[in-house]
Structure 1
Amino acid sequence: MTIAIMQPYIFPYIGYFQLINAVDKFIIYDDVNYINKGWINRNNILVSGKPHLFTIPLKDASQNKLINEVELLKTEAWQKKLLKTIQQSYQKAPYYQKAFDLIEEIVNLDVRTIYELTLYALQRTCAYMEIDTEIIPSSTIYNNTHLKGQDRILDICKQEGARHYINPIGGMELYDKSKFEGEGIKLDFIKSLPSPYIQFKNAFVPWLSIIDILMFNNPEEIRAQLKAHELI
């Protein structure tokens, strides 16, 4: 079995979905500390040809809380503002209506925490892109929060009986291939490859939220995007 473990991000970039698509089971790391100014509640979309950062407001977010404890700020203002920005920016995109219907459903979901919103968003977006990888929260099964970093990852791999663990390339300095190999587990890092597509008449802006890809690509093109990576 091949697995990956990641914190939940809202509408992440294509590399996050490439990782989900590359494994048999994807574990959402929801019972680790929230990171301020990370990607859990924000991302970039294309506005007037340039990256535009949107942020989902949270209630008393703190690095002293676990991700699954951080609540959404209960106001409809952010939903209306975000959907309006997306509508104004993408309404002339070739696959706007179908993508917008999906995004609107997610954004308007009535849940309490940012974790619940991100989990639902990942599940629905994966279904839209025909990714059938099993997605499970780390808090529901492993009971190993006393472990940290690499040791906790290895313990989850052992509990799952995994023989292959894939991590984003940003973790190359954090994880030791020889330590994984000593436990009978192959460790690879996934590297996303440039895969430009037409964004209106603008110069291509890479690595935006998956929202951008859904707006400009049909299902066949999205499947090609999901394969545009290498393992190192």
Structure 2
Amino acid sequence: MQPYFFPYLGHFALIAHTDQWIVFDVTQYTPRSWMNRNRVLHPQTGWNYISAPLIQSSTTLLTHEAQVNDLKATQRSVLGKLSHYRRKAPYYETVIDLVSQTFSRTTSNSLVHLNIAGLVSVCEYLGLPFNYRVCSALDLDLRTVNTPGGWAPEICRQLGAKSYLNPVGGRALFDAQDFSRLGIQLQFMQFSGFEYDTNPYTFEPGLSIVDVMMWNEPQRIAQLLCSHTKILA
């Protein structure tokens, strides 16, 4: 999967149902995408973006080449946009520490490294095993891939994977025969989000995991990730 910036719940439901996670960072970067921004609650407008501005944001970049413009300034901006949760969300202090830890464990301006650090921090907090490998760091020959749906089966083949799990929303991208002829099982995950109490704010679905963690204890989140997920053939 592409490396997203503090992604939504469904991303972690997918992590919870995989044995190995490939950080897919070898294709063109997509500007104004979930890779460098996500949404959290806002007191007046319903929701607001938190983001990691880049030195250059262009499709001429490969994803692993994207660099955060100013990591410290990004941290201050994100924490500032989360400050309104302070007197309302029961897990504010814990989550603020987690977000700060994410930036602290990022040792370069690489957007991919920042996003991986976020995934690691959240998975540790929720108690989710997260065994990841970064695609650009692997010795893979992907020169023959020429379609969007061709990356997954070829990466699976070269890594010796026996099954591949993708969110059901991407079903149209894949041809099951591309997997079956390689002896790989193609499966899809259907995740149904859940509503939670955000009083005095109005609940907004599909926000960043940061918002979910502000209002819910980690054990409950981990349980609901599993109970709201179905694996489809």
TM above 0.5, one fold? yes
What is the RMSD computed on CA atoms of the aligned residues?
Answer: 1.7
Kindly provide the CA deviation profile for residues 175-229 of structure 1, in whole angstroms up to 9, marking residues without a partner as x. 0123322222121221211311111233321110000111111122111232111
- Name the counterpart of 1:125: 122
- Name the counterpart of 2:133: 136
Distance 2:222 2:117 in 1: 21
Distance 1:189 1:174 in 2: 12
Distance 2:176 2:132 in 1: 25
Kindly tell me the number of residue pairs found equivalent between the two proteins.
Answer: 227
What TM-score do the two structures reach when normalised by structure 2? 0.90
Aligned residues: percent identity?
A: 30
Distance 2:140 2:133 in 1: 14
Kindly provide the CA deviation profile for residues 121-140 of structure 1, in whole angstroms up to 9, marking residues without a partner as x. 11121111111131110111
What TM-score do the two structures reach when normalised by structure 1? 0.91
- Name the counterpart of 1:160: 159
| Equivalent AA in structure 1 for residue 229 of structure 2 | H
Worse-matched range after superposition: 72-81 or 201-210? 72-81
| Equivalent AA in structure 2 for residue 112 of structure 1 | N
Distance 2:203 2:56 in 1: 37
Q: How does 1:1-232 map to 2 (within 5 A)?
A: 6-48=1-43, 50-74=46-70, 76-108=72-104, 109-146=106-143, 147-148=145-146, 149-227=148-226, 228-232=228-232
Structure with the higher fraction of residues in strand conformation: 1
Q: Which secondary structure does the structure 1 equivalent of 2:166 belong to? A: strand
| Equivalent AA in structure 1 for residue 141 of structure 2 | N
| Equivalent AA in structure 1 for residue 6 of structure 2 | F
Contact 1:9 1:118 in 2 (8 A): yes
| Equivalent AA in structure 2 for residue 189 of structure 1 | F
Distance 1:204 1:177 in 2: 38
Contact 2:10 2:193 in 1 (8 A): no
Kindly provide the CA deviation profile for residues 60-96 of structure 1, in whole angstroms up to 9, marking residues without a partner as x. 1211111111111126433212201102234421111
Contact 2:140 2:158 in 1 (8 A): no
> Kindly tell me: are residues 91 and 29 of structure 1, through their superposed partners in 2, closer, same or farther at Cα, counting changes over 3 Å?
farther
Distance 2:21 2:86 in 1: 30
Kindly provide the CA deviation profile for residues 139-185 of structure 1, in whole angstroms up to 9, marking residues without a partner as x. 11142231243333112112222221111222111101233222221
Q: Which secondary structure does the structure 2 equivalent of 1:7 belong to? A: coil
Distance 2:71 2:117 in 1: 19
Q: Which secondary structure does the structure 2 equivalent of 1:195 belong to? A: coil
Contact 1:79 1:107 in 2 (8 A): yes
